[in-house]
């Protein structure tokens, strides 16, 4: 592959002599909903065209790539940490927990895990961090797509359960519409109460 994302993965494989797992999360910033993570072991012999940071792709493109990643990956797992866990241990630790669950959910433990960002989950294998990994590694980009698509689907389900907030539009992020709906209707069980303090302070 000539893509820089695949070049990074190839370089890691060549230097370590092993396949590795990319891991990323989705949903650290929203005011509502669980935080999701995915772990992906790509097959270098079965490359996927068009992988990129999930935030740089359209929803339609993410959905198409989701199916291809699931079909072509050697191994993958998607996991989450709940709103209750976010409130109990804070969002950073909850994101690390979701990442840990995703890796531990793989069929076999990889020798190396590379996690997006500057923090790493605790795992019984070698773990490295890669800042902006979803824009530099095909494996992490694939993980970011699985996590993002799964979380968006979950927020669509929450939109049907709590239609007054417009979750299908903003996916729980703190848009003007979402903040207005919180003030109008109050929070629901999907809201992260520790994230709402500033909204009520401004009120």
Q: Evaluate whether residue 61 is within a structural domain.
A: yes
CA–CA dist 87, 189 (Å, integer): 12
The sign of the torsion formed by the CA atoms of 57, 60, 65, 66 equals positive
The pLDDT tens digits for 129-180 are 999 999 999 999 999 999 999 999 999 999 999 999 999 999 999 999 999 9
- Predicted pLDDT at 2: 56
What is the structure's pLDDT at 1?
44
Within-domain flag for 201: no
- Low-confidence stretches of the chain (pLDDT beneath 70): 1-2, 203
Say if 187 falls within a structural domain: no
pLDDT at 199: 87
- Number of folded domains in the chain? 1
Tokens 């303090």 — which residue? 197
Closest CA to 24 of 151, 154, 140: 140
173 assigned to some structural domain: no
Residue 171 falls inside a structural domain: no
Range of the domain at 106: 4-153
In a domain, 168, yes or no: no
pLDDT at 55: 87
Q: Look at residue 4 in the predicted model and tell me its pLDDT.
A: 86
Instruction: CATH number of the domain at 103, please.
Output: 3.30.420.10
The reported pTM is 0.95
Give pLDDT, residue 105: 98
Is residue 174 a part of any domain in this protein? no
19 and 9 Cβ atoms separated by less than 8 Å: no
Is residue 170 one of the residues assigned to a domain? Answer: no
């Amino acid at each position: 592959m000539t893509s820089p994302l695949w070049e990074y993965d190839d370089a890691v494989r060549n230097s370590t002599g092993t396949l590795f797992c990319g891991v990323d999360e989705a949903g650290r910033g929203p005011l509502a909903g669980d935080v999701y993570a995915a772990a992906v072991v790509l097959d270098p012999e079965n490359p996927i065209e068009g992988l990129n940071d999930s935030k740089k792709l359209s929803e339609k493109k993410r959905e198409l790539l989701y199916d291809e990643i699931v079909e072509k990956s050697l191994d993958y797992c998607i996991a989450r940490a709940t709103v209750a866990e976010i409130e109990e241990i804070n969002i950073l630790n909850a994101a690390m927990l979701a990442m840990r669950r995703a890796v531990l959910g793989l069929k076999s433990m990889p020798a190396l895990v590379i996690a997006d960002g500057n923090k790493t989950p605790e795992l019984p294998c070698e773990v490295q961090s890669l800042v902006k990994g979803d824009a530099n590694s095909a494996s992490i980009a694939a993980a970011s797509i699985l996590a993002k698509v799964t979380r968006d689907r979950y927020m669509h389900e929450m939109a049907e359960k709590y239609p007054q907030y417009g979750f299908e539009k903003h996916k729980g992020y703190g848009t003007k519409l979402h903040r207005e709906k919180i003030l109008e209707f109050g929070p629901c069980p999907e809201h992260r109460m520790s994230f709402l303090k500033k909204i009520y302070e401004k009120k």
